[in-house]
């Protein structure tokens, strides 16, 4: 089962993914533009302070590119925005750990300091949460498309019960319809 195939494109969870990606992308773009406005040296390891964070031309460029990718994901929306948020959030967390090890060394080409590391962890967790929201949990509601994809037989029984109630049957008749055997589905995403 592939996570990207489980959710219908128009599901309301898509708004969470889009807004999360768009907001974070906008913040990164503003940070990158402020770095460009100060005409910073590209690989200056000491960096300059912008909005309380150390930056240089390389970090400003990376911020602009990642911000643009997140905004593009927000425009496209749906499963792509969710998957993109998961990927970018994970990359931010990894970047925080890598750059934490590089602080004070000549290899610190992005001019990271401790506030940058903390920012990287916070943004990474935030974007990762936006991407995973509604996709993974032990208590997903039964109308969640990810839950329905993982439990197709139970979802079909619940749909049959609701349909029987809507058609005016008694609750006992609706319950009997819901308990009827459900044929296995073969048209599920991923072929399962």
What pLDDT digit, counting tens, does each position of 69-82 carry? 999 988 887 778 88
What pLDDT digit, counting tens, does each position of 101-113 carry? 999 898 888 889 9
| Cβ within 8 Å of residue 190, ≥6 positions away | 1, 2, 5
Residue 163 CA to residue 177 CA, distance in Å, equals: 9
What pLDDT digit, counting tens, does each position of 130-159 carry? 888 766 665 666 676 666 777 778 777 777
Question: What are the φ and ψ backbone dihedral angles of 12, each rounded to 5 degrees?
Answer: -65, -20
Comparison of pLDDT for 17 and 175, the residue scoring more = 17
Burial (CB count within 10 angstroms: exposed 0-12, middle 13-18, buried 19+), residue 184: exposed
**Is 0.75 topped by the overall pTM?**
no
């Amino acid at each position: 089962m592939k996570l990207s195939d489980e959710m219908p494109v128009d599901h309301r969870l898509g708004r969470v993914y889009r807004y999360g990606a768009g907001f974070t992308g906008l913040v990164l773009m503003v940070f990158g533009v402020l770095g460009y406005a100060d005409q910073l040296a590209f690989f200056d390891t000491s960096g300059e302070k912008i909005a309380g964070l150390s930056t240089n031309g390389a970090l400003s460029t990376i911020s602009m590119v990642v911000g643009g990718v997140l905004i593009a994901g927000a425009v496209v929306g749906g499963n792509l925005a969710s998957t993109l948020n998961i990927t970018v959030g994970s990359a931010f967390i990894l970047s925080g750990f890598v750059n934490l090890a590089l602080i004070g060394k000549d290899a610190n080409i992005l001019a990271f300091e401790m506030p940058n590391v903390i920012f990287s962890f916070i943004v990474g967790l935030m974007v990762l949460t936006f991407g995973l929201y509604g996709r993974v949990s032990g208590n997903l509601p039964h109308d969640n498309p990810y839950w329905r994809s993982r439990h197709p037989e139970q979802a079909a029984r619940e749909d049959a019960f609701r349909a029987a109630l809507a058609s005016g049957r008694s609750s006992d008749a609706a319950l009997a319809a819901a308990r009827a055997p459900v044929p296995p589905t073969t048209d599920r995403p991923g072929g399962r």
